[in-house]
Homo-oligomer: A and B are copies of this chain.
Amino acid sequence: MKARVFITAKEGVLDPQGKAIEHALGNMGFTGVGEVRQGKVIDLVLTETDQTKAKASLDEMCKKLLANTVIESYRVEIVG
């Protein structure tokens, strides 16, 4: 089973990477670019075949390792 985890900075948390991209795009002449936020995407291959169990396991992985839940939020998606 393939899973995908999205990790993004929570609303209101400063995102310096996003801001850097925003300014760089402006300097390069790209107009009409508003807020930019950068996050992480992690693709995992799991041997688990049960979707519910896989999601529970991924949730635990996010809380324990993948995301810093103080400043980041995460979303788990089963891709196939």
Contacts and interface: CB of A to CB of B under 8 A. Distances in A.
Interface of A: 6, 8, 18, 21, 24-25, 28, 30-48, 57, 60-61, 64-66
A64 B33 CA distance: 15
A42 to B, nearest CB: 5
A80 to B, nearest CB: 14
B37 A39 contact: no
Nearest to A47: B32
A44 B40 contact: no
B36 A43 contact: yes
What are the 9 tightest A-B residue pairs by CB atom distance, in nearest-first order? A34-B45, A32-B47, A41-B41, A37-B43, A39-B41, A35-B45, A36-B44, A38-B42, A32-B48
